[in-house]
Amino acid sequence: ATIMVLNGPNLNLLGQREPAQYGYETLADVESMCREAAQALGHEVDFRQSNHEGVLIDAIHEAGRGVKEGSVLGVVFNPGAYTHTSIALHDAIKGAEVPVIEVHISNVHARESFRHHSYISPCAAGIVVGMGVHGYVMGIQGLVHKFGR
């Protein structure tokens, strides 16, 4: 099946943006890692990034329709800063009934207190935090382990 790997705002800048926090790998590097990890488990990746909340909401809805049709397994989602602000993304995940693994490259709990709360975690099937970009691979593996068929 297809695993959607969805990236929120500013993740297009990965590799240049605060490398002490997020490392030197680019989003293109993350995409190749994800494709490889999914392929090894017999799945495919639909890799996306948007800086726009509504585009992310539409992608979640699309993934939900795919889950119902049996073509999509779920979403590995790094919502970026929308993690800490977006009730709309929380509602989208609930409404679309799509399994979501929430991924954060950095350990958000060791950072500013405004990063400690997530609107996504209560509706996530699993969470990977602070494992660097390898967290995406772990998210894919976790999604397949929990929901793979």
The answer to whether residue 82 is catalytic is: no
Q: Which is nearer to ligand DQA, 40 or 81 (CB)?
A: 81
Residue 115 counted as an annotated binding residue: yes
Catalytic residue among 22, 82, 119, 136: 22
The answer to whether residue 104 is catalytic is: yes
Residue 78 counted as an annotated binding residue: yes
Q: At what angle do helices 134-147 and 27-40 cross, to 10 degrees?
A: 30
Q: Where does this chain bind ligand DQA (CB under 6 A)?
A: 10, 78, 80-81, 83, 104-106, 108, 115
Report the candidate in 11, 3, 14, 133 with the shortest Cα–Cα distance to residue 76. 3
Residue 106 counted as an annotated binding residue: yes
Q: Which is nearer to ligand DQA, 38 or 103 (CB)?
A: 103
Give dist(CA 61, CA 122) in Å, integer.
18
Min CB(70)–ligand DQA separation in Å: 30
Query: What is the token pair recorded at 115?
Result: 């990063």
- For residue 125, give every residue at least 6 positions away whose Cβ sits within 8 Å of its Cβ, in sequence order, or none: 74, 99, 100, 101, 143, 146, 147
Give dist(CA 103, CA 126) in Å, integer.
9
Q: Which is nearer to ligand DQA, 10 or 26 (CB)?
A: 10
Catalytic residue among 90, 104, 119, 136: 104
- Annotated binding site for substrate, which residues? 78, 84, 91, 105-106, 115
Enumerate the active-site residues.
22, 104
